Chain A
Amino acid sequence: MPGKLKAKIVAGRHLPVMDRASDLTDAFVEVKFGNTTFKTDVYPKSLNPQWNSEWFKFEVDDEDLQDEPLQITVLDHDTYSANDAIGKVYIDIDPLLCSEAATVISGWLPIYDTIHGIRGEINVLVKVDLFNDLNRFRQSSCGVKFFCTTSIPRCYRAVMVHGFVEELVVNEDPEYQWIDRIRTPRASNEARQRLIFLMSGELQRKIGLKVLEMGGNAVVGYLQCFDLEGETGLVVRAIGTACTLEKISTLPATATHPSNSSPSKDMKDSPQAAPSTLGCRSTHSSPVHSASSRLSQGFSVSVPTLLFAGMKPRHRSSEAPRARQCRPGFGEEAPGVPLSSGPPTPLRAQTFSSFSPSKSYSRQSSSSDTELSLTPKTGMGSGGSAGKEAGPLKALLRQQTQSALEQREYPFFTLTAFPPGFLLHVGGVVSARSVKLLDRIHNPDEPETRDAWWEEIRQEIKSHAKALGCHAVVGYSESTSICEEVCILSASGTAAILSSRFMQDGSLDTEHRLSRQPLCVFSTGSERVEGDMGSSASLGFEEVVPPGCGFCHIPYDELNIPFPAQLTYCYCCRRYKVPDVLFTTIDLPTEANVTGKGCLIQARLCRTKKKAQGEGNATAISNLLPFLEYELHTQLMNKLKLRGMNALFGLRIQISVGETMLLGLASATGVYLTALPSPGGIQVAGKTPSDITYEQHISNMQKKINDTISKNKELHEINPPEVVEEIIGSPIPEPRQRSRLFRSHSESSDEVSELDLSHGKKDAFVLEIDDTDAVEDIHALLTDSPTPAGFYSCNTEIMPGIQNWTSAIQMFTSVRVFRLNANLTNQGLNKIFSDLCENLLKSLYFKLRSMVPCCLCHLNFTVAIPEDELIQVAVTAVAMSFDKEQSLENGKQSGEKTLIKAITENDEQLQFNLELNAETSSPNPLSSPKGLSEVGSHPSARDRCSSWIEQLKLKAHTIRRGSVKTTSSLEKASPLPEGRSRSLRSNRSYSGSSVAVVKMTPLSFIPGAKIIKYLGIINMFFIRETTSLREEGGVSGFLHTFIAEVFAMVRAHVAALGGNAVVSYSMKECVFMENPNKNQAQCLINVSGDAVIFIQESELESTSVQTQSATTHTSNGGEGT
């Protein structure tokens, strides 16, 4: 279906002087879309031309509308010689194709030249008329919404989460074409920029098609990457999670946005018609060549988080076999899985009404991955954790979810945060890597091999997840690292068990009504309570799993733990098993019970490698990888323990390959999950206890470590109820009792309880220093300097323990390149690399000191080896100030605890509650407070005695905790009237400046504000080159300007769409190359994010009339110059 694209060139300003004689410019504009070009008149002798052109109209296919950018070129007219180009503007018109996004692009956009940077601005107006809606989705995927945000966007609710979508397109890199030898750098750069624009447009359209095919209307967690393979080509690939989203009107007055709800409705109607016609569309576009390649070495290692947790002594001795051990062979685990699904308990029958299983098989042709034998295992992994009265139900539910998932090729989700009740259990991190040799394309017709590579890896991931007893992978991401002809492909995610309710059609209608409120809200404290309540109310069976700890409960069978781990009973609910340590790639679930605050934990590693070519090189790299990964994990584990924490979230391991070295950087946010056992300390053990000085040295070290641990605990306010541990450790035969209870429902044997008993008391983690490696490790541990006072850091969306954000945010990007000396040892390299990261962090803290108290959120490190002996580290993050005084809202947790305390103190009431529940055994989620209700509501099959013991324990626990909390909150309550600088706060209503303020943040939300509209995805690619590096201030000056320019262009485009912020912003690529001898440098940057309109919550609170005017004001701000 064709559409009409209309563009109007209004004016220019701040143009550069193009005519030296007159110090002026005779500018005109070329507007190009596809193969059609229009020109404006020449506006003579002005640096601020007023073209005020007519509307240029392009009548085009909507497929082209999706693929092509609108290209605006500003030129200087020259009578005698060729016209000189001033610069270009590429406008992605995709946001205009979706009725829910932007309607017009209007505003000042920077004119960009790849050699000179920004050269003035141009004011344009762009609109699109799509011809009627009826068959709008037939020919293309116009209308599918894309979000970079890795959670359900704030003003939508998920009707359904369909699953994984992926696509990649390949082309020759213009930089490596023969013509590049004769054309100017500018022409070459522009060809590249344009090609990438085209390719990402095409990719997005193709992904959109897949989404429509699945019946969705949006892609959430859209992650697009470029692989600059060099000679062999250019790959643009993307992954995302297909969803059906529904807009919720966030404004108090529902009438303000009547148009918003309608499009989603017709989205829901259309998919039926869509798939049939979509199938016949040829998606292979002609200029795209497929890159052939040959696989040299396949390597993959999965390190499911807990892997090394249990191996304490001697773990240095044999690394290689251990590394192998960490691959959970999926073939082995299959027979061991017990079929534990018992008959459904009649008592819980009423919960069945919430889903209708019959419909779940309606769509989705099952894609067969038979070689992996994904036989639908009923009750897979439910052995231990589901061995309760609710077990069978859960097993059944799980079975259902699983079958829904198994119909998908890849049960992957790029989401990192989930609607309440969606994420049931988390298994651990799964990852796979593969080393490939890139090869020149000999036969352009040869079928695509890149797809096959990724397929391999995804299968690997899938099987790892299965080994962990999980049917899904969440927080999934993919990345590559390329050096010459070697390419490392990596994928990682978190194995998990998900609730079926967002994946089945059946539950749609009932869910629809019930979960209306909870979904929109899981941002700030007060809302979250509401969300939790809503979700537990809507789902009868959800109460079985307490929201605060449910996700920690192991999904795998405790008899067949896929890796050595110590299991204990959950420290929150005391009924399910939890691991001692939990690693994940997702964000901390908002409902999770956390003690204290979190912090950024990084493992850094550098390994030298011999220079080699071709297959030899690939083999060498594959051989090094497992060691690298093993050591990164050891480092992470050590650092986690050093901080007295027991879980990692947002784990991201990046491995970068260079000619002579490999770099590994693992970043994550450590937290203390209340549900998990307290981590033991780190014990240093010497191997040769002969020397006294040596012993002394060791004890010194031990003391240092212990000091650090206690200091860290204090810093992060980790004061877990230690008393509880004593109770567990005390030889009350109670755990045994519990396990006996279990046995009646599951196949668990005494082994389980033994396991539990033996690890009831936490052992210390022993570090042996018998070789230099270990010494190095300890040094690495201790060199991490603590964050300065007033600062916190994390790489996740939210910082546990901090809620009362102010609206002051500061997004930033920092890049450092470090030159190494030749001939460094591994240790030397490690130290340098570690120092580099540490110093960078220190610099950031210093820079942002005016925002204290503040937290650096979403600290995203990217490492690269741009050339031999160079290490590049790029960081993008946001600093957010918060109020030190504990607000009422923040008191949610402590408030909840005092509530529990109050109730537990009142024994009579407790008993009554208990009896009531025992008799009716019906959940009473609204009246019973959380934490208590979980225990209180299911004592049915348990004998009274044991539940009483349980109760008493819990009581002791909560009282203890309650008192601890009170004191700590008292401490905090002491006001700290610091003169905080609030100058960074953007002042939205100031006069005198015509430039609208655009906030940027890598997070999916803006503190103190409500996102009321998503305007579309921002995905921009820029190249900048210079042949006068010294004149532009050297490499730093060059890159500084370029990054500032990229920010400026992102802001300008967002403002032109009518937005006032970019959320989920990320800089996905920053490739910097220099040649100081030639005075040249080149840099490529790729950024993405979601353009949004937000309004301050304070404004929102005022009357709806005002909010409405605020909204219109904001959009006007963008439109008006």
Chain B
Amino acid sequence: MSVELDVFVGNTTIMDKEVYQLWLNGYTVNDAVKVRIEGGVMEECEASAEVLLSDTMDQYRTFQMCERLLHHPAKLANQLLFQIPPDRQAMLIERYYAFDDSFVREVLGKKLSKGTKKDLDDVSTKTGITLKSCRRQFDNFKRVFKVVEELKGPLVENIRQHFLLPDQLARDYAAIVFFANNRFETGKKKLQYLTFQDFAFCAGQLINNWTLGAVDNMTEDMDVDLDKEFLQDLKDLKILITDKDLLDQHKSLVCTALRGKTNVFNEMEANFKNLSRGLVNIAAKLINAKDVRDFFIDLVEKFIEPCRSDKWTSIDMNLYLTHYTNSAHILDTFKHHAVWTRYMGVIKSCILKMYHD
């Protein structure tokens, strides 16, 4: 005696948010039923485990049938097979494309290739996220990446339009795509303390200021690559550390401005040359793709770590960077104001974001 076939089809497709989440999380039907039973839905609705199983299976089947459409969210709106109210459609899409921060930290900056996908079981065991869910998230990244890669125009806007994602999620995807494209190193031990949101913020800064689209959004090029010309120009900033006079001048200007305003003034003064060298060197090296990848690790090693060991507060950091940036403009022999502003603007906000425990 067994139920051989059991289906339920509504004119308006019924989707339980809770079951959808379980499905997205990669639970098997039986595990999902267990979770639901523990959730107490049974007592609430006078249902039996049998009913719950039947419902869960049915929902899972519906989601599987929908998944094909979710890969092209625009299709969901004009397909005829499922009648889903628009608010539900939005929910389906948003949740399907949602990801776990712990997962994304593992693959951020990695090449979205088959090789990476093969390693997902390691990621799964490390993060405790089911392999199925990992795969879905990974495939989402890859799908978005593939579609956006070839598109012109602003990255975030492209993602939002093609995948009908809410603004914040679109921005996160933009960050993921940007990181994957530029292969930024994020996995090093020293970077472990940084969250995905830290990186996403930095990515947003980079996209908005350092890509070609940032200066001239009419050009045919895309948001995903850094502005080569700008990177070339960054080499000119080296003068700030190579020219002894300029470096001293810069230091004295900054120290004058900072004196008495901070508890760590002595450390700042002592470290100025080192820190300035660090930042300018990062700028000068960015023309090499290899060094672009190490951008964040460099920032941490060359700047954040020394400051942290000197126990700078965020306020100190802000103060220092503001004066450091502004003072350069007063130097009479320094000509590259535009590039300096563009560079330091991003660096400053990135460092401020990254400067925490």
CB within 8 Å for A811 and B78 given contacts A816-B3, A986-B85, A1035-B5: no
A1048 interface hit (Cβ, 8 Å): yes
Chain B contacts for A870, CB-based, 8 A:
4
A985 and B88 CA atoms in complex are apart in Å by: 11
Which of B1, B62, B82, B87 lies in contact with A818, CB distance below 8 A?
B1
**Measured between C-beta atoms, what is the minimum distance from B224 to chain A in Å?**
25
- The bracket for how many chain A residues form the interface is 35 or more
A820 interface hit (Cβ, 8 Å): yes
Interface residues of B in 1-47 (CB under 8 A from A): 1-14, 44-47
Which A-chain residue is minimally distant from B16 (CB atoms)?
A: A850
Listed residue (B45, B62, B86) with the most chain A CB atoms within 10 angstroms of its CB: B45
Which B-chain residue is minimally distant from A839 (CB atoms)?
A: B50
CB within 8 Å for A814 and B1 given contacts A843-B51, A995-B80: no
Chain A contacts for B61, CB-based, 8 A:
1033, 1036-1037, 1040
CB within 8 Å for A1072 and B5 given contacts A995-B77, A1036-B57: yes
Chain A contacts for B87, CB-based, 8 A:
983, 987
Which A-chain residue is minimally distant from B15 (CB atoms)?
A: A983
**Measured between C-beta atoms, what is the minimum distance from B20 to chain A in Å?**
13
Chain B contacts for A14, CB-based, 8 A:
75, 79
A118 and B6 CA atoms in complex are apart in Å by: 22
Chain B contacts for A1036, CB-based, 8 A:
5-7, 57, 61
Interface residues of B in 60-102 (CB under 8 A from A): 61-62, 64-65, 75, 77-83, 85-89
**Measured between C-beta atoms, what is the minimum distance from B92 to chain A in Å?**
12
Chain A contacts for B86, CB-based, 8 A:
987, 990, 992-993
A842 touches B47 (CB 8 A): yes
B5 touches A821 (CB 8 A): no
**Measured between C-beta atoms, what is the minimum distance from A84 to chain B in Å?**
22
Chain A contacts for B89, CB-based, 8 A:
993
Interface residues of A in 791-827 (CB under 8 A from B): 810-821
Chain A contacts for B65, CB-based, 8 A:
1037, 1040-1041, 1044
CB within 8 Å for A815 and B51 given contacts A832-B1, A1051-B80: no
B10 touches A994 (CB 8 A): no
Chain A contacts for B46, CB-based, 8 A:
788-789, 845
Interface-facing stretch out of A158-166, A412-420, A997-1005:
A997-1005
A1044 touches B51 (CB 8 A): no
Chain A contacts for B57, CB-based, 8 A:
1036
Chain A contacts for B12, CB-based, 8 A:
810, 984, 986
Chain A contacts for B54, CB-based, 8 A:
839, 843
Interface residues of A in 581-617 (CB under 8 A from B): none
Which A-chain residue is minimally distant from B86 (CB atoms)?
A: A990
Listed residue (A108, A110, A997) with the most chain B CB atoms within 10 angstroms of its CB: A997
**Measured between C-beta atoms, what is the minimum distance from B47 to chain A in Å?**
5
Chain A contacts for B77, CB-based, 8 A:
992-995
Which B-chain residue is minimally distant from A820 (CB atoms)?
A: B1
Interface residues of A in 945-995 (CB under 8 A from B): 983-987, 990, 992-995
CB within 8 Å for A812 and B1 given contacts A995-B80, A1037-B61, A1045-B81: no
A1052 interface hit (Cβ, 8 Å): yes
**Measured between C-beta atoms, what is the minimum distance from A294 to chain B in Å?**
36
Could you mark each residue 203-244 of chain B with 1 if its beta carbon is under 8 Å from any beta carbon of chain A, else 0?
Answer: 000000000000000000000000000000000000000000
B52 interface hit (Cβ, 8 Å): yes
- The bracket for how many chain B residues form the interface is 35 or more
B14 touches A847 (CB 8 A): yes
A817 touches B8 (CB 8 A): no
A1035 touches B85 (CB 8 A): no
A811 and B14 CA atoms in complex are apart in Å by: 11
A110 and B62 CA atoms in complex are apart in Å by: 19
Chain A contacts for B8, CB-based, 8 A:
812-814, 843-844, 847
Interface residues of B in 301-325 (CB under 8 A from A): none
A1052 touches B5 (CB 8 A): no
B48 interface hit (Cβ, 8 Å): yes
Chain B contacts for A912, CB-based, 8 A:
none
**Measured between C-beta atoms, what is the minimum distance from B14 to chain A in Å?**
6
B121 interface hit (Cβ, 8 Å): no
A983 and B84 CA atoms in complex are apart in Å by: 10
A31 and B252 CA atoms in complex are apart in Å by: 86
Chain A contacts for B52, CB-based, 8 A:
846
A118 and B13 CA atoms in complex are apart in Å by: 17
Chain B contacts for A1000, CB-based, 8 A:
11
A1000 and B11 CA atoms in complex are apart in Å by: 7
B298 interface hit (Cβ, 8 Å): no
B10 touches A811 (CB 8 A): yes
A412 and B51 CA atoms in complex are apart in Å by: 42
A1043 interface hit (Cβ, 8 Å): yes
Which of A812, A818, A990, A1052 lies in contact with B11, CB distance below 8 A?
A812
A121 and B78 CA atoms in complex are apart in Å by: 10
A1035 touches B11 (CB 8 A): no
CB within 8 Å for A1040 and B55 given contacts A819-B1, A983-B88: no
A814 and B57 CA atoms in complex are apart in Å by: 13
Interface residues of A in 870-894 (CB under 8 A from B): 870, 872
A814 and B51 CA atoms in complex are apart in Å by: 13
Which of A839, A849, A994, A1048 lies in contact with B81, CB distance below 8 A?
A1048
Interface residues of B in 295-347 (CB under 8 A from A): none
Could you mark each residue 351-387 of chain A with 1 if its beta carbon is under 8 Å from any beta carbon of chain B, else 0?
Answer: 0000000000000000000000000000000000000
A1041 and B68 CA atoms in complex are apart in Å by: 13
**Measured between C-beta atoms, what is the minimum distance from B72 to chain A in Å?**
10
A1039 touches B5 (CB 8 A): yes
**Measured between C-beta atoms, what is the minimum distance from B5 to chain A in Å?**
4
Which of A819, A984, A1052 lies in contact with B2, CB distance below 8 A?
A819
A849 touches B50 (CB 8 A): no
CB within 8 Å for A846 and B47 given contacts A108-B80, A990-B86: yes
Chain A contacts for B88, CB-based, 8 A:
983
**Measured between C-beta atoms, what is the minimum distance from A1082 to chain B in Å?**
13
Interface residues of A in 1038-1077 (CB under 8 A from B): 1039-1041, 1043-1045, 1047-1049, 1051-1052, 1072
A782 and B228 CA atoms in complex are apart in Å by: 80
A1033 and B4 CA atoms in complex are apart in Å by: 13
Which B-chain residue is minimally distant from A1033 (CB atoms)?
A: B61
Chain B contacts for A812, CB-based, 8 A:
8-11, 14
A992 and B7 CA atoms in complex are apart in Å by: 30
A788 touches B55 (CB 8 A): no
A815 touches B5 (CB 8 A): yes
Chain A contacts for B5, CB-based, 8 A:
815-817, 872, 1035-1036, 1039, 1072
A872 and B6 CA atoms in complex are apart in Å by: 10
Assuming A108-B80, A984-B85, what are 8 further A-B pairs, CB within 8 angstroms?
Answer: A789-B46, A832-B1, A843-B8, A849-B45, A872-B5, A983-B88, A1051-B11, A1072-B5
Closest A-B pairs by Cβ, 3 of them: A817-B5, A812-B10, A811-B11
Residues of A within 8 A of B (CB): 13-14, 108, 110, 118, 121, 788-789, 810-821, 832, 839, 842-849, 870, 872, 983-987, 990, 992-995, 997-1000, 1033, 1035-1037, 1039-1041, 1043-1045, 1047-1049, 1051-1052, 1072
Residues of B within 8 A of A (CB): 1-14, 44-48, 50-52, 54-55, 57-58, 61-62, 64-65, 75, 77-83, 85-89
Can you show 26 pairs from A to B with CB atoms below 8 A apart? A14-B75, A121-B80, A810-B14, A813-B8, A814-B7, A815-B5, A815-B6, A816-B5, A816-B6, A817-B6, A832-B1, A839-B50, A842-B48, A843-B51, A845-B46, A848-B14, A983-B85, A987-B85, A993-B77, A995-B83, A999-B11, A1000-B11, A1040-B61, A1044-B81, A1045-B81, A1047-B83
